[in-house]
Structure 1
Protein backbone atom coordinates (compact mmCIF):
# COMPACT_ATOMS: atom_id res chain seq x y z
CA UNK A 1 0.00 0.00 0.00
CA UNK A 2 1.43 3.39 -0.93
CA UNK A 3 2.45 5.66 1.93
CA UNK A 4 -0.20 8.27 1.10
CA UNK A 5 -2.97 5.64 1.40
CA UNK A 6 -1.61 4.54 4.77
CA UNK A 7 -1.48 8.17 5.89
CA UNK A 8 -5.11 8.76 4.87
CA UNK A 9 -6.25 5.68 6.79
CA UNK A 10 -4.23 6.68 9.87
CA UNK A 11 -5.49 10.28 9.88
CA UNK A 12 -9.09 9.12 9.39
CA UNK A 13 -8.68 6.62 12.22
CA UNK A 14 -7.33 9.30 14.59
CA UNK A 15 -10.06 11.80 13.66
CA UNK A 16 -12.82 9.24 14.21
CA UNK A 17 -11.19 8.14 17.46
CA UNK A 18 -11.16 11.74 18.74
CA UNK A 19 -14.74 12.37 17.63
CA UNK A 20 -15.88 9.24 19.48
CA UNK A 21 -14.09 10.39 22.64
CA UNK A 22 -15.55 13.91 22.60
CA UNK A 23 -19.04 12.97 21.39
CA UNK A 24 -19.76 9.45 22.71
CA UNK A 25 -23.09 7.82 21.91
CA UNK A 26 -23.07 5.91 25.21
CA UNK A 27 -21.14 5.67 28.43
CA UNK A 28 -18.07 3.43 28.33
CA UNK A 29 -17.82 0.54 30.81
CA UNK A 30 -14.31 -0.79 30.18
CA UNK A 31 -11.08 1.16 30.54
CA UNK A 32 -10.01 2.68 27.23
CA UNK A 33 -6.39 1.52 27.40
CA UNK A 34 -7.42 -2.10 28.05
CA UNK A 35 -9.71 -2.08 25.02
CA UNK A 36 -7.17 -0.36 22.78
CA UNK A 37 -4.39 -2.80 23.63
CA UNK A 38 -6.66 -5.75 22.85
CA UNK A 39 -8.10 -4.29 19.64
CA UNK A 40 -4.79 -2.97 18.30
CA UNK A 41 -3.14 -6.34 18.99
CA UNK A 42 -5.84 -8.20 17.07
CA UNK A 43 -5.69 -5.59 14.29
CA UNK A 44 -1.92 -6.02 13.92
CA UNK A 45 -2.37 -9.78 13.50
CA UNK A 46 -5.15 -9.23 10.96
CA UNK A 47 -3.02 -6.79 8.96
CA UNK A 48 -0.16 -9.31 8.90
CA UNK A 49 -2.44 -12.13 7.70
CA UNK A 50 -4.05 -9.80 5.16
CA UNK A 51 -0.68 -8.68 3.79
CA UNK A 52 0.47 -12.27 3.36
CA UNK A 53 -2.62 -14.35 2.63
CA UNK A 54 -5.46 -12.24 1.28
CA UNK A 55 -3.46 -9.88 -0.92
CA UNK A 56 -1.14 -12.62 -2.14
CA UNK A 57 -4.03 -14.89 -3.09
CA UNK A 58 -5.84 -12.11 -4.93
CA UNK A 59 -2.69 -10.97 -6.76
CA UNK A 60 -1.75 -14.50 -7.83
CA UNK A 61 -5.29 -15.10 -9.05
CA UNK A 62 -5.39 -11.75 -10.82
CA UNK A 63 -2.12 -12.53 -12.60
CA UNK A 64 -3.39 -15.98 -13.55
CA UNK A 65 -6.65 -14.60 -14.93
CA UNK A 66 -4.67 -11.99 -16.90
CA UNK A 67 -2.64 -14.79 -18.51
CA UNK A 68 -5.70 -17.02 -18.99
CA UNK A 69 -8.64 -14.82 -19.96
CA UNK A 70 -11.50 -16.27 -17.95
CA UNK A 71 -14.22 -14.60 -15.95
CA UNK A 72 -17.21 -12.46 -16.67
CA UNK A 73 -15.27 -9.31 -17.59
CA UNK A 74 -13.71 -11.09 -20.58
CA UNK A 75 -17.18 -11.87 -21.91
CA UNK A 76 -18.36 -8.27 -21.77
CA UNK A 77 -17.60 -5.73 -24.41
CA UNK A 78 -17.43 -2.04 -23.72
CA UNK A 79 -15.11 0.65 -22.53
CA UNK A 80 -12.63 0.08 -19.75
CA UNK A 81 -14.51 2.55 -17.56
CA UNK A 82 -17.81 0.68 -17.93
CA UNK A 83 -16.10 -2.65 -17.28
CA UNK A 84 -14.35 -1.21 -14.22
CA UNK A 85 -17.64 0.04 -12.80
CA UNK A 86 -19.33 -3.30 -13.43
CA UNK A 87 -16.39 -5.18 -11.90
CA UNK A 88 -16.42 -2.91 -8.83
CA UNK A 89 -20.16 -3.39 -8.34
CA UNK A 90 -19.89 -7.16 -8.77
CA UNK A 91 -16.96 -7.38 -6.35
CA UNK A 92 -18.91 -5.33 -3.80
CA UNK A 93 -22.15 -7.26 -4.27
CA UNK A 94 -20.55 -10.68 -4.05
CA UNK A 95 -18.56 -9.65 -0.96
CA UNK A 96 -21.82 -8.48 0.62
CA UNK A 97 -23.18 -12.01 0.17
CA UNK A 98 -19.95 -13.41 1.62
CA UNK A 99 -20.49 -11.18 4.66
CA UNK A 100 -24.08 -12.41 4.96
CA UNK A 101 -22.82 -16.00 4.80
CA UNK A 102 -20.45 -15.22 7.67
CA UNK A 103 -23.48 -14.28 9.76
CA UNK A 104 -25.71 -17.12 8.60
CA UNK A 105 -23.55 -20.24 8.79
CA UNK A 106 -22.47 -21.34 12.25
CA UNK A 107 -18.98 -22.46 11.20
CA UNK A 108 -18.20 -19.11 9.56
CA UNK A 109 -19.90 -17.19 12.38
CA UNK A 110 -17.47 -18.68 14.91
CA UNK A 111 -14.69 -16.78 13.18
CA UNK A 112 -16.65 -13.68 12.18
CA UNK A 113 -18.01 -13.23 15.72
CA UNK A 114 -14.58 -11.98 16.84
CA UNK A 115 -15.50 -8.72 15.11
CA UNK A 116 -18.40 -8.26 17.56
CA UNK A 117 -16.90 -9.56 20.82
CA UNK A 118 -16.05 -6.11 22.14
CA UNK A 119 -19.47 -4.76 23.21
CA UNK A 120 -18.22 -1.17 23.00
CA UNK A 121 -17.98 -0.88 19.23
CA UNK A 122 -15.92 2.04 18.02
CA UNK A 123 -13.24 2.81 15.45
CA UNK A 124 -10.76 0.52 17.27
CA UNK A 125 -12.98 -2.49 16.52
CA UNK A 126 -13.21 -1.73 12.78
CA UNK A 127 -10.37 -4.12 11.88
CA UNK A 128 -10.98 -6.62 14.67
CA UNK A 129 -11.34 -9.94 12.86
CA UNK A 130 -10.30 -13.48 13.63
CA UNK A 131 -7.22 -14.33 11.57
CA UNK A 132 -8.96 -17.55 10.51
CA UNK A 133 -11.70 -15.50 8.88
CA UNK A 134 -9.02 -13.73 6.87
CA UNK A 135 -7.86 -17.07 5.42
CA UNK A 136 -11.43 -17.95 4.44
CA UNK A 137 -11.84 -14.49 2.94
CA UNK A 138 -8.65 -15.06 0.95
CA UNK A 139 -10.19 -18.19 -0.53
CA UNK A 140 -13.38 -16.34 -1.32
CA UNK A 141 -11.47 -13.44 -2.90
CA UNK A 142 -9.60 -15.92 -5.09
CA UNK A 143 -12.86 -17.34 -6.41
CA UNK A 144 -14.31 -13.84 -6.75
CA UNK A 145 -11.38 -12.50 -8.77
CA UNK A 146 -11.34 -15.57 -11.04
CA UNK A 147 -15.08 -15.66 -11.75
CA UNK A 148 -15.46 -11.93 -12.25
CA UNK A 149 -12.17 -11.75 -14.15
CA UNK A 150 -10.61 -8.66 -12.62
Structure 2
Protein backbone atom coordinates (compact mmCIF):
# COMPACT_ATOMS: atom_id res chain seq x y z
CA UNK A 1 0.00 0.00 0.00
CA UNK A 2 2.91 2.36 0.70
CA UNK A 3 4.24 1.76 -2.84
CA UNK A 4 0.78 2.45 -4.27
CA UNK A 5 0.57 5.70 -2.31
CA UNK A 6 4.02 6.71 -3.55
CA UNK A 7 3.02 6.04 -7.17
CA UNK A 8 -0.23 7.99 -6.83
CA UNK A 9 1.47 10.98 -5.17
CA UNK A 10 4.25 10.92 -7.78
CA UNK A 11 1.81 10.84 -10.70
CA UNK A 12 -0.31 13.60 -9.12
CA UNK A 13 2.75 15.83 -8.63
CA UNK A 14 4.16 15.11 -12.09
CA UNK A 15 0.89 15.85 -13.91
CA UNK A 16 0.27 18.95 -11.77
CA UNK A 17 3.72 20.36 -12.61
CA UNK A 18 3.48 19.53 -16.33
CA UNK A 19 0.02 21.08 -16.69
CA UNK A 20 0.98 24.12 -14.60
CA UNK A 21 4.02 24.85 -16.77
CA UNK A 22 1.99 24.22 -19.94
CA UNK A 23 -0.68 26.65 -18.74
CA UNK A 24 1.97 29.32 -18.28
CA UNK A 25 3.60 28.69 -21.66
CA UNK A 26 0.44 28.23 -23.74
CA UNK A 27 -2.73 29.28 -21.90
CA UNK A 28 -6.08 28.86 -23.63
CA UNK A 29 -8.02 31.45 -21.69
CA UNK A 30 -7.16 34.51 -19.64
CA UNK A 31 -7.76 33.97 -15.91
CA UNK A 32 -9.97 36.41 -14.00
CA UNK A 33 -8.68 35.85 -10.47
CA UNK A 34 -5.21 35.86 -8.87
CA UNK A 35 -3.73 32.41 -9.43
CA UNK A 36 -1.89 32.25 -6.09
CA UNK A 37 -5.13 32.86 -4.16
CA UNK A 38 -7.06 30.22 -6.10
CA UNK A 39 -4.27 27.66 -5.99
CA UNK A 40 -3.77 28.08 -2.24
CA UNK A 41 -7.45 27.45 -1.53
CA UNK A 42 -8.09 24.79 -4.18
CA UNK A 43 -5.05 22.76 -3.17
CA UNK A 44 -5.91 23.37 0.48
CA UNK A 45 -9.22 21.61 -0.17
CA UNK A 46 -7.35 18.73 -1.85
CA UNK A 47 -5.08 18.24 1.18
CA UNK A 48 -8.04 18.48 3.56
CA UNK A 49 -9.88 15.78 1.61
CA UNK A 50 -6.77 13.58 1.54
CA UNK A 51 -6.52 13.86 5.32
CA UNK A 52 -10.19 13.29 6.13
CA UNK A 53 -11.11 10.45 3.78
CA UNK A 54 -8.93 7.68 5.29
CA UNK A 55 -10.30 8.52 8.76
CA UNK A 56 -13.97 8.34 7.81
CA UNK A 57 -14.14 5.14 5.74
CA UNK A 58 -12.84 1.77 6.93
CA UNK A 59 -11.81 0.86 3.37
CA UNK A 60 -10.69 2.88 0.39
CA UNK A 61 -11.02 1.61 -3.17
CA UNK A 62 -7.88 -0.53 -3.59
CA UNK A 63 -8.01 -2.00 -0.10
CA UNK A 64 -11.68 -2.84 -0.57
CA UNK A 65 -10.89 -4.51 -3.91
CA UNK A 66 -8.46 -6.83 -2.09
CA UNK A 67 -11.25 -7.72 0.35
CA UNK A 68 -13.60 -8.47 -2.55
CA UNK A 69 -10.93 -10.55 -4.28
CA UNK A 70 -10.06 -12.55 -1.17
CA UNK A 71 -13.72 -13.41 -0.66
CA UNK A 72 -14.36 -14.08 -4.38
CA UNK A 73 -17.25 -11.61 -4.50
CA UNK A 74 -18.83 -10.03 -7.57
CA UNK A 75 -19.80 -10.96 -11.11
CA UNK A 76 -16.28 -11.28 -12.53
CA UNK A 77 -15.28 -13.81 -9.86
CA UNK A 78 -18.47 -15.83 -10.28
CA UNK A 79 -17.88 -16.00 -14.05
CA UNK A 80 -14.19 -16.81 -13.52
CA UNK A 81 -13.17 -13.92 -15.80
CA UNK A 82 -9.44 -13.93 -16.75
CA UNK A 83 -7.19 -11.33 -15.11
CA UNK A 84 -6.62 -9.37 -18.32
CA UNK A 85 -10.34 -9.20 -19.06
CA UNK A 86 -11.08 -8.13 -15.49
CA UNK A 87 -8.59 -5.30 -15.95
CA UNK A 88 -10.03 -4.10 -19.29
CA UNK A 89 -13.70 -4.43 -18.33
CA UNK A 90 -13.05 -3.05 -14.87
CA UNK A 91 -11.48 0.12 -16.27
CA UNK A 92 -14.28 0.64 -18.78
CA UNK A 93 -17.13 0.00 -16.35
CA UNK A 94 -15.64 2.14 -13.58
CA UNK A 95 -15.26 5.02 -16.02
CA UNK A 96 -18.88 4.60 -17.12
CA UNK A 97 -19.96 4.48 -13.46
CA UNK A 98 -18.17 7.79 -12.82
CA UNK A 99 -19.95 9.28 -15.84
CA UNK A 100 -23.39 8.34 -14.48
CA UNK A 101 -22.47 9.37 -10.97
CA UNK A 102 -21.41 12.78 -12.30
CA UNK A 103 -24.67 13.09 -14.22
CA UNK A 104 -26.73 12.25 -11.12
CA UNK A 105 -24.88 14.89 -9.11
CA UNK A 106 -26.15 17.44 -11.61
CA UNK A 107 -29.75 16.21 -11.75
CA UNK A 108 -30.54 15.57 -8.06
CA UNK A 109 -30.84 18.92 -6.21
CA UNK A 110 -29.34 17.71 -2.92
CA UNK A 111 -26.34 16.23 -4.71
CA UNK A 112 -25.96 19.35 -6.89
CA UNK A 113 -25.53 21.39 -3.70
CA UNK A 114 -22.38 19.38 -3.04
CA UNK A 115 -21.12 19.34 -6.61
CA UNK A 116 -21.59 23.06 -7.18
CA UNK A 117 -18.48 23.65 -5.02
CA UNK A 118 -16.56 22.28 -7.99
CA UNK A 119 -18.45 24.50 -10.44
CA UNK A 120 -18.22 27.66 -8.31
CA UNK A 121 -14.61 28.13 -9.40
CA UNK A 122 -14.71 31.20 -11.65
CA UNK A 123 -11.61 30.14 -13.53
CA UNK A 124 -10.72 26.66 -14.72
CA UNK A 125 -7.23 25.27 -14.58
CA UNK A 126 -5.38 22.17 -13.39
CA UNK A 127 -6.32 22.72 -9.72
CA UNK A 128 -10.06 22.76 -10.55
CA UNK A 129 -9.75 19.07 -11.39
CA UNK A 130 -9.29 18.21 -7.72
CA UNK A 131 -11.61 20.82 -6.18
CA UNK A 132 -14.49 18.82 -4.67
CA UNK A 133 -16.34 19.04 -1.38
CA UNK A 134 -15.41 16.37 1.11
CA UNK A 135 -18.95 14.97 1.35
CA UNK A 136 -19.03 14.54 -2.44
CA UNK A 137 -15.68 12.71 -2.30
CA UNK A 138 -17.08 10.48 0.45
CA UNK A 139 -20.27 9.65 -1.48
CA UNK A 140 -18.27 9.08 -4.66
CA UNK A 141 -16.09 6.58 -2.82
CA UNK A 142 -19.15 4.69 -1.54
CA UNK A 143 -20.53 4.45 -5.09
CA UNK A 144 -17.15 3.20 -6.30
CA UNK A 145 -17.00 0.58 -3.53
CA UNK A 146 -20.48 -0.64 -4.47
CA UNK A 147 -19.41 -1.04 -8.13
CA UNK A 148 -16.25 -2.91 -7.10
CA UNK A 149 -18.25 -5.31 -4.91
CA UNK A 150 -21.00 -5.92 -7.46
CA UNK A 151 -18.61 -6.58 -10.35
CA UNK A 152 -15.66 -8.10 -8.50
CA UNK A 153 -13.16 -5.68 -10.05
CA UNK A 154 -9.55 -6.62 -9.33
CA UNK A 155 -7.26 -4.50 -7.12
CA UNK A 156 -4.97 -3.91 -10.12
CA UNK A 157 -7.84 -2.53 -12.20
CA UNK A 158 -8.97 -0.29 -9.34
CA UNK A 159 -5.45 1.03 -8.72
CA UNK A 160 -4.84 1.77 -12.42
CA UNK A 161 -8.25 3.43 -12.68
CA UNK A 162 -7.61 5.65 -9.64
CA UNK A 163 -4.32 6.84 -11.11
CA UNK A 164 -5.82 7.44 -14.57
CA UNK A 165 -8.90 9.21 -13.16
CA UNK A 166 -6.81 11.60 -11.10
CA UNK A 167 -4.41 12.37 -13.96
CA UNK A 168 -7.14 12.75 -16.59
CA UNK A 169 -9.16 15.06 -14.33
CA UNK A 170 -6.20 17.42 -13.98
CA UNK A 171 -5.50 17.20 -17.72
CA UNK A 172 -9.04 17.92 -18.91
CA UNK A 173 -9.50 20.79 -16.45
CA UNK A 174 -6.21 22.42 -17.44
CA UNK A 175 -6.07 25.80 -19.14
CA UNK A 176 -3.86 24.66 -22.01
CA UNK A 177 -4.12 25.53 -25.70
CA UNK A 178 -4.32 22.59 -28.10
CA UNK A 179 -4.61 22.99 -31.84
CA UNK A 180 -8.04 22.20 -33.32
CA UNK A 181 -6.54 19.29 -35.24
CA UNK A 182 -5.04 17.65 -32.16
CA UNK A 183 -8.13 18.36 -30.07
CA UNK A 184 -10.43 16.82 -32.69
CA UNK A 185 -8.34 13.67 -32.84
CA UNK A 186 -7.99 13.28 -29.08
CA UNK A 187 -11.63 13.90 -28.20
CA UNK A 188 -12.74 10.98 -30.33
CA UNK A 189 -11.47 8.84 -27.45
CA UNK A 190 -10.64 10.94 -24.40
CA UNK A 191 -11.99 14.09 -22.77
CA UNK A 192 -9.89 17.10 -23.78
CA UNK A 193 -9.62 20.45 -21.98
CA UNK A 194 -11.69 22.17 -24.69
CA UNK A 195 -14.39 19.50 -24.45
CA UNK A 196 -14.62 19.65 -20.67
CA UNK A 197 -14.41 23.44 -20.47
CA UNK A 198 -17.91 23.52 -21.99
CA UNK A 199 -19.08 21.69 -18.86
CA UNK A 200 -17.93 24.64 -16.71
CA UNK A 201 -19.87 27.24 -18.69
CA UNK A 202 -22.18 29.55 -16.75
CA UNK A 203 -25.00 28.54 -19.14
CA UNK A 204 -26.86 25.70 -17.44
CA UNK A 205 -27.55 23.70 -20.61
CA UNK A 206 -23.79 23.60 -21.22
CA UNK A 207 -23.07 22.84 -17.57
CA UNK A 208 -25.38 19.84 -17.93
CA UNK A 209 -23.27 18.31 -20.71
CA UNK A 210 -19.89 16.65 -21.26
CA UNK A 211 -19.91 14.70 -18.00
CA UNK A 212 -17.07 12.34 -18.88
CA UNK A 213 -13.79 12.45 -16.99
CA UNK A 214 -11.58 10.11 -19.03
CA UNK A 215 -13.27 8.48 -22.03
CA UNK A 216 -15.35 10.76 -24.26
CA UNK A 217 -17.51 7.95 -25.66
CA UNK A 218 -20.08 8.02 -22.84
CA UNK A 219 -21.25 11.57 -23.64
CA UNK A 220 -21.67 10.64 -27.28
CA UNK A 221 -23.45 7.38 -26.56
CA UNK A 222 -25.77 8.78 -23.90
CA UNK A 223 -26.67 12.05 -25.62
CA UNK A 224 -24.92 14.59 -23.38
CA UNK A 225 -22.23 15.81 -25.77
CA UNK A 226 -21.82 19.47 -26.76
CA UNK A 227 -18.90 20.21 -29.06
CA UNK A 228 -18.18 23.90 -28.32
CA UNK A 229 -19.44 26.66 -25.98
CA UNK A 230 -21.79 29.09 -27.69
CA UNK A 231 -19.77 32.10 -26.41
CA UNK A 232 -16.43 30.68 -27.54
CA UNK A 233 -13.65 29.49 -25.25
CA UNK A 234 -11.92 32.85 -24.85
CA UNK A 235 -15.10 34.82 -24.03
CA UNK A 236 -17.16 32.21 -22.16
CA UNK A 237 -17.93 32.85 -18.48
CA UNK A 238 -16.85 30.09 -16.09
CA UNK A 239 -18.75 29.10 -12.94
CA UNK A 240 -22.30 29.39 -11.66
CA UNK A 241 -24.52 32.41 -11.00
CA UNK A 242 -24.33 31.75 -7.26
CA UNK A 243 -21.15 32.53 -5.26
CA UNK A 244 -19.64 35.04 -7.69
CA UNK A 245 -17.72 37.16 -5.16
CA UNK A 246 -13.96 36.69 -4.82
CA UNK A 247 -14.22 35.73 -1.14
CA UNK A 248 -16.31 32.70 -2.08
CA UNK A 249 -13.14 31.10 -3.41
CA UNK A 250 -11.66 30.80 0.08
CA UNK A 251 -11.36 27.37 1.69
CA UNK A 252 -13.83 28.08 4.50
CA UNK A 253 -16.40 29.48 2.07
CA UNK A 254 -16.07 26.46 -0.22
CA UNK A 255 -16.68 24.09 2.69
CA UNK A 256 -19.88 25.91 3.64
CA UNK A 257 -21.29 26.44 0.10
CA UNK A 258 -23.49 23.29 0.05
CA UNK A 259 -25.33 24.63 3.08
CA UNK A 260 -25.90 28.17 1.79
CA UNK A 261 -27.89 29.81 -1.00
CA UNK A 262 -26.30 33.20 -0.64
In the superposition, the TM-score normalised over structure 2's length comes to: 0.52
CA distance in 1, matches of 2:78, 2:122: 46
Residues 20 and 126 in structure 2, CA contact (< 8 A), matched pair in contact too: yes
Aligned residue pairs: how many?
150
| Cα shift at 1:4 | 4.1
Residues 112 and 129 in structure 1, CA contact (< 8 A), matched pair in contact too: yes
Tell me whether 52-61 or 123-132 shows the greater mean CA deviation.
Answer: 52-61
Partner of 2:24: 21
In the superposition, relative to structure 1, how do residues 3 and 55 fare at CA in structure 2: closer, same or farther (>3 Å)? farther
Residues 74 and 149 in structure 2, CA contact (< 8 A), matched pair in contact too: yes
Consecutive unaligned residues in structure 1, runs of 5 or more: none
Consecutive unaligned residues in structure 2, runs of 5 or more: 154-262
Tell me whether 95-104 or 61-70 shows the greater mean CA deviation.
Answer: 61-70
Partner of 1:66: 69
Which structure has more helix as a fraction of its residues?
Answer: 1
Partner of 1:31: 34
**Which secondary structure state, in structure 2, belongs to the residue aligned with residue 56 of structure 1?**
coil
| Cα shift at 1:62 | 2.7
**Which secondary structure state, in structure 2, belongs to the residue aligned with residue 28 of structure 1?**
coil
- The CA RMSD measured in Å over matched residues stands at 2.2
In the superposition, relative to structure 1, how do residues 29 and 83 fare at CA in structure 2: closer, same or farther (>3 Å)? closer
Where relative contact order (Cα < 8 A, 6+ residues apart) is larger, the structure is: 1
Deviation per CA, 1:95-140: give whole Å up to 9, x if none: 2211111111111111111111111100011100000101111221
In the superposition, relative to structure 1, how do residues 60 and 130 fare at CA in structure 2: closer, same or farther (>3 Å)? same
Deviation per CA, 1:49-108: give whole Å up to 9, x if none: 344456824355434423433311123244221222122222221222111111111111
Residues 32 and 122 in structure 2, CA contact (< 8 A), matched pair in contact too: no
Q: Which of 103, 128, 131 is 1:128 aligned to?
A: 131
In the superposition, relative to structure 1, how do residues 49 and 146 fare at CA in structure 2: closer, same or farther (>3 Å)? same
CA distance in 1, matches of 2:31, 2:89: 42
Tell me whether 23-32 or 61-70 shows the greater mean CA deviation.
Answer: 61-70
CA distance in 1, matches of 2:17, 2:75: 39
| Cα shift at 1:9 | 2.2
Q: Which of 88, 92, 109 is 2:91 aligned to?
A: 88
Partner of 1:107: 110
Residues 40 and 124 in structure 1, CA contact (< 8 A), matched pair in contact too: yes
Residues 53 and 138 in structure 1, CA contact (< 8 A), matched pair in contact too: no
